[in-house]
Amino acid sequence: MKVVKTSQVLGLMVVLAGMTAASVRAEEAAAEPAATAAAAVDVASAYVFRGETINDDVNVQPTLSGSFGMLSLGTWGNLNTDSSNFDEIDYFASVALPLGEEFPIGLSVGYTEYTYPTAVTEPVADEAVVGLEADREVNVIASHDLAVNDETTLGLSLAGNFGLEGPYLDQGINVTADASVDFAATDEVGISGGVTVGSEWGDNKPDDGISYAQLNLGASYAMLYGAIHYVIETDDDVLVIDEDLWGSVGLSLPL
């Protein structure tokens, strides 16, 4: 699935002389982490997941997410406009691990459950069952953001995804590396570019190795954003690329 990430740092500048009161307020804010929530919706020209084309129809993909301190929760869905059905609804959770200021790397551990509400299994006793068994996956993500200057940030991430069970991801191991550059053209306009490389090492694919490379180019204005992606086939024994060019536009709203 769409793999382009951004981060924001919120700061408080105190210019009054009451430094003691400001320090007390900062300590209270640290002791009580603020809860945040956001809703987003993307319209994608195809549903591409880790380089693989799930379908080549126009898809509407809403997301609802929230965080409290180190805990993040959310859900994501895929509405296939050809069938007018939600053919996938996912639920995810992650915990950011505190490493201390001496470690400039962000580390999180997460869990995702992929469900397929409209999928049909083989008939049992002359009766078909709607809804395949869910895929369940745990992941570990390491990331680092490097400020090149006031406008430019270099982002690096490495994710390991480990399939626990399910019809598609059981015993699958996916490793994805991502490098991106974000440029703030103005206070509201941002431009990003980068590359994503995925690999498969589990038993759910016909072979092991690098499965795809993807070039990403995106832009944002206030709450609107869009991106275009070009997927490169690296080894057809691991993954055959069907849809090599796809794009999306979206809207994100804080709640």
pLDDT digits 0-9 by tens, 19-73: 333 443 444 444 445 799 999 999 999 999 999 999 999 999 999 999 999 999 9
Question: Which two structure tokens, joined as six digits, stand for 208?
Answer: 């092991």
pLDDT digits (tens, 9 = 90+) for 122-137: 666 666 666 677 999 9
The alpha carbon of residue 157 and the mean position of all alpha carbons in its chain are separated, in whole angstroms, by 11
Question: Which two structure tokens, joined as six digits, stand for 245?
Answer: 């060019």
* Number of neighbouring beta carbons within 10 Å of residue 186: 8
Q: What would the mean pLDDT of 188-213 be, rounded to a whole number?
A: 94
pLDDT more than 90, % of the chain: 73
Question: Which two structure tokens, joined as six digits, stand for 106?
Answer: 């962000």
Better pLDDT: 15 or 150: 150
CB neighbour list of residue 167: distance below 8 Å, 6 or more residues apart: 132, 133, 135
Beta bridge partners of 233: 212
pLDDT on residue 52: 94
Predicted model pTM: 0.81
Opening angle at CA 213, ends 210 and 219, nearest 5: 150
Smallest CA-to-CA distance from 174 within 155, 193, 197, 195 is with: 197
The alpha carbon of residue 170 and the mean position of all alpha carbons in its chain are separated, in whole angstroms, by 20
pLDDT on residue 25: 41
| CA distances in angstroms from 205 to 109, 169, 195, 236, listed in the order given | 24, 9, 23, 11
Smallest CA-to-CA distance from 60 within 252, 196, 214, 249 is with: 249
Eight-state DSSP code of residue 194: E
From CA 20, how far away is CA 30, in angstroms rounded? 16
Q: What would the mean pLDDT of 149-178 be, rounded to a whole number?
A: 95
From CA 210, how far away is CA 21, in angstroms rounded? 55
Please determine, for residue 16, whether its predicted confidence score (pLDDT) is greater than 70. Answer: no
Q: Looking at the domain that runs over 19-254, which CATH code has it been given?
A: 2.40.230.20
H or E stretch at 178: strand 173-184
From CA 130, how far away is CA 124, in angstroms rounded? 11
